[in-house]
A and B are shown apart, each in its own frame.
Chain A
Amino acid sequence: MINATAPLLDVRDLTVTINRDGRLVTALDKVSFFVNPGEVLGIVGESGAGKSITGAAIIDLLVPPLKRTGGTITLAGTRLDQLSPKAMRSVRGGRIGFVFQDPMTSLNPVITIGQQLCDTIQAHLKLGGSQTRKRALDWLDRVGLPNPDVQFKRFPHQLSGGMRQRVVIALALCADPVLVIADEPTTALDVSVQAHILELLRDLHRESNVSMMLITHDLGVIAKMADRVAVLYAGRVAEISPVGELFNTPKHPYTRGLIRATPMPSATGEMRLDQIPGAMPGLGAVPPGCAFNPRCFRAQGDCRATIPPLYHEKSSAFSCFHPLERVTA
């Protein structure tokens, strides 16, 4: 992990609302985090926690009725939230690459993958025709597609799911971005292929030292890939910690609940499965106070009355009035 003075991406109080028949419903509530240069920040949470909305809000790809209504997003000194839509277009795919969940729908089915790569490169880097082609072929090779010359002329439907996701990764990285946002990059893939794609992302990350935001619901993926982890719950940050601390000594009861609810053999080989009662509140149904209080075994009066602020410690932050002791693992 590189400790630079200034973070590469700094998100403060990011708020996103949904306009539901004139009624404003908060989807993201003052989410703050930062990504250091060369770091992998994992963003984890259950569906509806606001992980994908966070990713989409950063590159201004929110689909109405979702709308960003507050907060600042700073990428290496530039305020992304104040850029014009035109300037934002050059950031997307240029300085920020994006890997989507489903490789079936994130490629254009009627254009060859080589052409899609060339288009992206030409849009963001001022290169000549032959150089563009060379770079595209080079990227197909780097993401591990055999015979780039042959693959260059193929259409997405002629490739397997894993191969398609490799192309999507090439598209995200081919214009030398400073930040890659990967939204559930392996969720649609089989286990054996998932490990390939994760390894590829890790190799490319090490080579290019690009910063990464890895959005996933899979704690196993987080444990293997992330340097720091932000846990989201009902549109708020529950905890941000270095990955080792998060798994060994979680501070927020939700974090520990999530870890214990994941079916995973313990070191001794026995299986335990501790469920969290209830379900995550839906949009607009977030209870007053801490959003987790109805499901939390440590909840007290203050949890039901006030939203806990984000308490910062050395390397971590958590929003809980009654955090778990560091020793209780």
Chain B
Amino acid sequence: MSASDFLILNHVSKVYRRNQSLLERLKKSESGGTKAVSDVSLTVRYGETMGLVGESGCGKSTLARLVSGLMAPTSGEISFPPNASGNKPRLQMIFQDPYSSLNGRWTIEDIIAEPIRVHKLRNGRAAIRARVDELLVQVGLSAADAEKYPQEFSGGQRQRICIARALAGEPEFLILDEPTSALDVSVQAQILNLLRDLQKNLHLTSLFITHNLSVVRIMADRIGVMYLGELVEEATSEELFRKPRHPYTRLLIDAAPDMDTSDRSLHPIAGELPNPAFPPSGCRFHTRCPFAQDICRNTVPPQKATETDGMFRCHFDLDLSNASVFPPAAQVKTA
């Protein structure tokens, strides 16, 4: 642990338990459950944007909820080392759907002023109103918009309001859970550019969660790749795309179609995502991995550190810097 560590996750796990019957509860038997996040260790440094990518069901949103304190982890610990002033950092969240995360009966002023009032960051009506206007301008809206209701805005504008509301709490730490997935491409670019500017100007530390590798590549300094609740690889953004160490990362990078019309080949990942409630034994990715061998089926791979301060979980040290490393047989459909 160094002075620049902002957030430390230490072997964090979260199990969603199913409801037990009365008899089971009386017998105090151990119930099964879905391990949504399992044994994730992660460090976010001060001023850095940590990206988390993965497919649906990989536990990335659960991890966001754990970090934000909306849920308690089943095991492991999440800690914010005290900063210079000795206080815990203020934290805000931005959600995916700007249509359901704003109260339609409140004006924009009420919405943005709420965190200011709750945290007593400004005193007096006039001061609060001035701060709301300032925030609206900061996110690219106008002060006149404060009188309006959320329904009067488009999706991109609503997301700007959500960002203004998050900034109103004067956070040091921002959790963004798929902030642009519900938006169109041209609007997504606006929001991403806005977020990038804000992060730079306000020196925010953030956790950026998305399923889109291109988006996270633009936004994040470091990226963690999750698969079925496990963090399978973690590296700097540049390193992850230049030289991925885990086969899943490589396959995920190749699977998204790019805009090159001269090479029209598609690269699906063999098989389907297993049910997260019953993850495969050994390495969780072995059912879809083109390099899988017997050891992968039986033994959980160790967590290995890379020389560039990254981490990956694989039995082998594979060189995956080139897209054409896979045998053609690996790309046939098996599902």
Contact = CB atoms under 8 A, between A and B. Distances in A.
A309 interface: no
A47 B259 contact: no
A166 B305 CA distance: 40
A275 B203 CA distance: 23
Interface in B264-278: 264-269, 272-273
Contacts of B266: 195, 198-199, 202, 224
B257 A224 contact: yes
Interface in A210-252: 217-221, 223-225, 243-244, 247-248
B184 A46 contact: yes
Interface residues of A, number: 48
Contacts of B190: 275-277
Interface residues of B, number: 44
B55 interface: yes
B215 interface: yes
B187 A195 contact: no
Given A191-B211, A198-B257, A276-B190, 17 more contacts: A46-B184, A46-B186, A46-B187, A190-B211, A191-B256, A195-B255, A217-B184, A225-B264, A258-B186, A262-B189, A263-B212, A263-B217, A264-B258, A269-B242, A273-B189, A274-B189, A279-B154
B154 A191 contact: no
A223 B192 contact: no
A271 interface: yes
A148 interface: no
Contacts of A217: 184-185
Contacts, number: 135
A247 B262 CA distance: 10
Contacts of A194: 255, 257, 268
A263 B218 contact: yes
Given A146-B335, A195-B268, A275-B190, A264 B157 contact: no
B185 A258 contact: yes
A111 B251 CA distance: 36
A144 to B, nearest CB: 6
B333 A144 contact: yes
Ranked nearest first, the 4 interchain pairs of A and B with the lowest CB-CB distance are A195-B268, A220-B257, A192-B269, A46-B184
A196 B212 CA distance: 17
A162 interface: yes
B46 interface: no
A192 B252 contact: yes
Interface string B189-219: 1101100000000000000000111110110
8 contacts: A144-B333, A144-B335, A146-B335, A195-B269, A199-B268, A259-B259, A264-B214, A264-B259
